[in-house]
Structure 1
């Protein structure tokens, strides 16, 4: 039963845009009103999430038989994101569509480097398993030797 219930849950990124200056209107707001105006806009949008966004988002997801999880509405996440200045969450001096929610890909890269085990490329990709099992790392690849000999005869 748990696997059925667990497979019905959806992790969403809903409301990340409001907190991380992710909408194109945030870029325009920054250009016309500066950081102070943008901060007020984000604060106003955060105040409206529960009444404006959350209800219809949850109904839309549950209409498909899924149960939503909203990590960007976790109290600790909201507190942390609110503690950061907006320029650490987004680079709105970049062209619109590029600098919004900049903290997310940076965090993903950091998490991946911390959580994933380190492997040499040939071991991590398991390419060695696709070759002959009796080959050793110090063996010369016969296919490459043939190509090299063919190239030498063509060049001479």
Structure 2
């Protein structure tokens, strides 16, 4: 993407924020697994973790996505950028679908309004991290600066 900054000066901070977001997803997922042990995998009950509605299925998904974000953050080399951007878009879709089906039988992840807000916020944070964490050569950074100044 030509409009994505290369070698942004705050890149390490954005990478740390991405790692913290992945860590939050893992912690939320583990607490959700503990809280929903013994329930059906897609149960629609009153299970709450950190103020958010969840079930075993969404907790497992959160752990999986958090681990993917953490692995991407550990690897770096623009792999984290791709992972963060794609997961951000995926979480936005999950969040909006959760909002659309929140009071229906199709609410398979047992979302509440709080869950929708937190998942959408995590998605936006991952998108921001993905946009500003790109690493490149000095030539790529110079090309970005020249293109930016033209616009």
TM-score after normalising by structure 2: 0.27
TM-score after normalising by structure 1: 0.26
- Which of the pair has more CA radius of gyration? 1
